[in-house]
Amino acid sequence: MIAQCPPLDSNSAYCNLLQCTHFADSCVIAECDGAIAGWVSGYRPPSESDSFFVWQVAVASSARGQRLAGRMIEELLDRPSAQGVTHLITTVTDDNDASWALFEGLARRWNARLDKSALFDRDIHFAGAHATEWQARIGPLSRSLSRPSGSAASTDSKQGETAI
């Protein structure tokens, strides 16, 4: 699914398996009619544990435009494992309009600020081979503000799965 969602970077199968085991509390899969429709991976950075880092967000092209990405992120923030999270952080390249629209929309919806700063620079960190990754930092988050009633996707009893 990641491979079908450019411009996301593909990671090794080993990395994806670690996400699904060690980081299952902070990752979610959305299913529609038995097929995977969406995936969000994230974690709380050890050095910044009041933040939730959204690593990759992927929505199948057939499932786009239904706020699925935002609903998966809200599902993750709604879990007991996200207790104490005050900020959502992520990185986005300048040309990813859909991703900026997603995170700017979430900041508006949560009535929170979005601060943008360069995190990984094209020349300094990527030797010119990858566009600069800008950090978007959204917060402070209020748990009640972040989840207007009826907004969150329902959670299946099996950890890590969300029904849409």
Residues near ligand COA (CB under 6 A):
5, 7-8, 56-59, 64-70, 96-99, 101-102, 105
DSSP character for 68?
H
Q: How far is the CB of 1 from ligand COA (least distance, A)?
A: 9
Toward ligand COA, which CB reaches closer, 64 or 79? 64
The answer to whether 74 and 30 have CB atoms below 8 angstroms apart is no
Nearer residue to ligand COA within complex by CB, 2 or 20: 2
DSSP letter at 70 equals H
Amino acid identity at 78: D
Of 97 and 157, the one with the shorter C-beta distance to ligand COA is 97
CB 24 within 8 A of CB 162: no
Q: How far is the CB of 18 from ligand COA (least distance, A)?
A: 18
Read off the amino acid at residue 74: E
